[in-house]
């Protein structure tokens, strides 16, 4: 098997090509791998690199060395090729995808990743052309994520803190948007603060939006949060962050007037006006969003100790 390490130099707070790549090569050398190190230099480059190697149809393992955006790009390039596996070395500040399997620290040891095993996971197809692994959303949460980059490189302002600062900024602006959300043909119409479509449990640096989501059940968890007063937002967001808005598989009674929960395989979000959408942390304005589950379309590598614990 060939091992391809795809490094995003802009992930995290420092240039990974300067501090990470030399250490990576030093760790790889004793392992006697057939490997290559590729450094990305523009958006979408990780997808291009992944496709270039995957198209040979030879067994290959890609290591996304970056944040959730880098991992997203690697999955996008790899998912059509059954012989391609995707591993992750977290260099970003959020690393929300990995929280579905363990802590970011569990994925830092190169030797553990090399010795690890791939498991099948669901992915999401977005607007017929993009791949998402964790969570897609539209509304306040996406606008918050859109504002995070300007705070992320401030000293001591990591993933969750940058997220919290961006929340404060956004709730000082007009909030809520009329939307029609369709889940497997069933329509929900209202003015929503935000709508999230979840394959995984967390986003935004650890906000546990969908604590019951599973990455291998062929279903997507949908959360619709109605427009509420700014006074109430803090209490709702606090529970939403901790995953305490659920009781078993249902929304807790005190929030059922605010949060609607559904599960489905195909979801369409149609806002009355263009809204900021979030696709695994990559954000921008969109007129609508269509998300479909791709059952067991990805092969994700668990480090050796996590794979052994799962067996």
pLDDT in tens, 111-128: 999 999 999 999 999 999
Q: For 274-306, what is each residue's pLDDT tens digit?
A: 999 999 888 899 999 999 999 999 999 999 999
Residue 161 DSSP SS3: helix
pLDDT computed for residue 61 by the predictor = 98
DSSP letter for each residue of 259-300: EEEEEESEEEEEESS-EEEEETTEEEEES-EEEEEEEEEEEE
Mean pLDDT along residues 69-80: 94
Phi, psi of 269, rounded to the nearest 5 degrees: -115, 120
Q: Give residue 19's pLDDT band: very low, low, confident or very high (50, 70, 90).
A: confident
pLDDT computed for residue 170 by the predictor = 72
Q: What is the rounded CA–CA span in Å between residue 286 and residue 303? A: 36
The answer to whether residues 140 and 227 touch, using CB atoms and an 8 Å cutoff, is no
Query: What domains are there in the chain, each with its CATH number?
Result: 2-127+296-310 (3.40.50.10330), 135-294 (2.60.200.40)
Q: For 150-163, what is each residue's pLDDT tens digit?
A: 766 666 666 667 76
- Mean pLDDT, the chain, integer: 91
Distances, alpha carbon 306 to alpha carbons 10, 27, 75, 134, 175, in Å: 28, 20, 20, 19, 41
pLDDT computed for residue 245 by the predictor = 96
The answer to whether residues 31 and 112 touch, using CB atoms and an 8 Å cutoff, is no
Render the burial of 293-303: b for 16+ CB within 10 Å, e for the rest.
bbeebbbbbbb
């Amino acid at each position: 098997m060939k091992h391809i390490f795809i490094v995003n130099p802009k992930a995290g707070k420092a240039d990974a090509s300067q501090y990470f790549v030399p250490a990576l090569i030093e760790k790889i050398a004793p392992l006697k791998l057939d490997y290559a190190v590729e450094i990305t230099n523009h958006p979408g480059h990780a997808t291009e690199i992944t496709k270039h190697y995957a198209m040979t149809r030879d067994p290959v393992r890609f290591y996304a060395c970056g944040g959730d955006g880098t991992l997203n790009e690697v999955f996008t390039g790899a998912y059509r090729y059954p012989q391609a596996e995707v591993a992750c070395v977290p260099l970003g500040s959020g690393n929300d995808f990995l929280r579905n399997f363990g802590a970011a620290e569990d994925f830092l040891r190169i030797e553990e990743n090399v010795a690890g095993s791939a498991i099948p996971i669901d992915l999401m197809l977005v607007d017929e052309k993009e791949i998402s692994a964790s969570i897609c959303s539209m509304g306040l949460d996406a606008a918050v994520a859109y504002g995070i980059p300007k705070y992320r490189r401030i000293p001591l302002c990591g993933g969750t803190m940058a997220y919290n600062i961006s929340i404060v900024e956004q709730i000082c602006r007009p909030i809520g948007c009329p939307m029609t959300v369709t889940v497997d043909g069933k329509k929900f119409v209202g003015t929503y603060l935000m709508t999230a479509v979840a394959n995984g449990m967390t986003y935004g640096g650890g906000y546990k939006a969908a604590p019951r989501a599973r990455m291998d059940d062929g279903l997507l968890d949908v959360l619709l949060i109605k427009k509420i007063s700014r006074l109430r937002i803090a209490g709702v967001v606090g529970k939403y962050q901790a995953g305490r808005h659920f009781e078993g598989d249902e929304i807790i009674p005190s929030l059922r007037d605010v949060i609607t929960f559904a599960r489905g395989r195909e979801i369409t979000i149609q806002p009355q006006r263009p809204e900021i959408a979030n696709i695994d942390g990559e954000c921008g304005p969109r007129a609508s969003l269509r998300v479909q589950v791709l059952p067991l379309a990805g092969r994700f590598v668990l480090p050796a100790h996590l794979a052994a614990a799962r067996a």
